Amino acid sequence: MKTHTNGTMKRMALWSLAGLALVGALGAAPVRIELPLEAPVLKPGPGRDIALSHCLTCHSAEYFTTQPLLPRAYWQGAVEKMQSKFGATVPAEQVAPLVDYLFGSYGKKP
């Protein structure tokens, strides 16, 4: 009868565990996670298309819908900041209609 040394037993145990891990990994099904698509829900109104095409490239719809009601000056400054600091490509002729939309939909009325 052959006896094994302590080192040999450890190696055999490690190889056995490695083999079991390999068999388990080969038989395991891949995990697939699907996140729901975000459907942007902005209030309807003139200028909404501008917000959808320019604002939602970086922001989620919730960015607007969860803001407190803010004054027109805030929305004007926010649009200008997005252009100057973050490179938002809102054409100059669309800034006023965009600010009107943001203020009209999500602004604090006097």
Task: Tell me what pLDDT residue 30 has.
Answer: 81
Q: Could you give all domains of the chain from N- to C-terminal order, each with its CATH number?
A: 48-106 (1.10.760.10)
> What pLDDT score does 26 carry?
63
Residue 75 pLDDT: 95
Contact call for residues 98 and 47 (beta carbons, < 8 A): yes
pLDDT at 108 over 60: yes
Q: What are phi and psi of 72, to 5 degrees?
A: -55, -40
Q: What angle do CA 71, 57, 97 make, to 5 degrees?
A: 40
Is 100:47 a contact under the CB 8 Å cutoff? Answer: yes
Span 18-56, pLDDT tens digits: 766 666 656 667 888 887 776 768 999 999 999 999 998
- Non-local (6+) Cβ contacts of 27 within 8 A are none
- What backbone torsions phi and psi does residue 69 show, to the nearest 5 degrees? -70, 115
pLDDT digits (tens, 9 = 90+) for 76-98: 999 999 999 999 999 999 999 99
